Structure 1
Amino acid sequence: MSRFIWLGLLAVLGGSPQAAAEDYPSALGTLTTEVLAAGLEHPWALAFMPDGGMLVSERPGRLRVVTADGRSSPPLGGVPEVYARGQGGLLDVALSPGFAEDRLVYLSYAEGGGEGDRAGTAVGRGRLAEDASRLDDFQVIFRQEPKLSTGIHFGSRLVFDRAGYLFVALGENNQRPTAQDLDKLQGKVVRLHPDGRVPEDNPFVGRPGARPEIWSYGHRNQQGAALNPWTGELWTHEHGPRGGDEINIPRAGRNYGWPLATHGINYTLLPIPEARGRTVPGTEPPLYVWEKSPAISGMAFYDAERFPAWRHNLFIGALAQQQLIRLQLDGNRVVHEERLLTELNARIRDVRQGPDGYLYLLTDEPAGRLLRVGLKTE
């Protein structure tokens, strides 16, 4: 029996793989990787619970608890039905800032029901049962309107800021011009109260023809979002087309350019029809851009004490290039880039800093893995 089949069987049976750590080189020391859980079907996101366990979403529509020692639960009940086609399905998972008291779990997912069997991104929340077997009283608090996706570019990531507002980073459903349309929710970052109400100080509240949920616009397909722990600002990143993956700091009311401004071209090798150049007046240039797309996904700032060499670094997964990207920061500037885990040969979907100071990665595979990554500097 192969090693990966064995790991997958253990995960399905609820066991812990206890796999031996594997080492990989890096400029700052030796990376150690350990498989905590395996056999996860296209895992998409993870969120840490106060007890050190994790909630892990699987794109086909399952949510599981994985304990700190790698044991996977059966799928939780109470999870909404999802549009599991193409890139759609169960996507991000986030805990309420007051989870210790309210036990609220937030999910983003692809939801069908649109005209012509089209879909959009939805966000809802439910209360995790005391035995962690289900979500109770699940309610939808946000729907991307109109529903325009045929199975791609849903986004989406969920981030709470220090004031308790919920940001949702959305894709444009591969309908390029909609990212510039303020009467649609495609290609936007939206900002909400935790119950889905619109904050009165959102930038487009009261503007005719504009959706009040919108915080920023002109985004393509946002696959990563995180709160900068040193500034408290939201950072997001998004897929470009053929080239032009980028990092942004979405600010209130700003236009981030897509599809008017882009460093990429169409997959047909022809220019983007709406593009006017790499920079366009009235739009914000990216903080950082990749001319060749790694197909970035997941994002984690590192601010733990365990591995000092990683402090003030940003870690991002790569799907197409199957790597972990380390970006060294000086304030809001990226001053160095390193590609890691190139020998892992796995699409990295999510990256999180754990409460223990390790990095935790999800690999996007039919039998996906949850990896714990550390650094040896001696």
Structure 2
Amino acid sequence: MTNYILNSLIIFGLFLKKPACAGRMSQVTREKIDEFEFTLYESWVNWFQRDPGLNGYRRFINQKLLEEMAVIQLVRAAIGRPELMGDPDIYHKMGWIVDWHESSLYRRWFVASRALGLNGYKINKKTAELLDAVVGTAKADIKRGLMLLRTALKYVHTGYRAAAYWANNRHVANLAYMAYMREEDEIKVVDDALQFVGISRPDRAGMDMLDFNSLMPIFFDFFQPPEAADDGGPKLEAPEWERVGTVDEVRQLGKKMAIVGLWREVLVAAVDGDIVAYENWCTHERDPLHYGYIQGRQLICLAHHATFDIKNGRVILHPNHGEARVLPRYPVKIEGNVIYVRVPW
């Protein structure tokens, strides 16, 4: 496990130990939620870079089944309360989210787990208790429940985003990419529900620290040692690479857009002597990033000025409406003067 992940988890553990202030709810800011999303994304990328093998993918799929179960139960808790029934459109769309996760994603990951030899879905006692506590909060308070759902959706899709671009198993990458493409629609539905119950700017809102502390281990405990060292099993398939340009042309231009996999657009850029590659679509409203511009280490989307750190994809500045997410990046290798990007599907 890399020092980056260990340091992040140490910080994470210290944060979880902070008690809520007496007499009032202590809030976790959106900035802190964003920071943990970036930590989670980097943790997944580092995990996939280690080439986890068959046993590793079994653990990954079990983790996604756990996360999908969390989303399903949180949506069901929200639509089980009377508040959302006042808007039939929102109520219907919330039902669409639970149907998508339950009948499509959960079922497909379960089939994948069987194909990899897993004997059923496994959840330990500690995680089951945390999940019960989170769902109990959602059933008792619609606002806190919807914020829990919103954060859970963000972190579920963070794992999907990393798997879509870094998993060396084609079937896992395809399924993860299909799920990640629905993220924006799902967050929009939950934001509409939050506005309906009185939270006017969900994209700027934080959440109760006790709720945050209950939710986070469901996503982060996956990386804690010694279980994270379980990377045994045969290699699944060799990664594929595609030529996207030369080092000289990218350094001269600063950035370029390339097509991989027949139609997938990739933004290739030079920064601090390195070459990096990202999906060419802004994570705010999916505008093309190659029309934007680079200032130092800042990549700025031309459409709504969402700003990213070109070195690692971290969000520096959200747009005035909505929010951006960590930019999904592709693996890069350089042979001589030629740049290759790995295409996992």
TM-score by length of 2: 0.28
Identify the structure with the greater helix proportion.
Answer: 2
Relative contact order higher in (CA < 8 Å, ≥ 6 apart): 2
Identify the structure with the greater strand proportion.
Answer: 1
TM-score by length of 1: 0.27
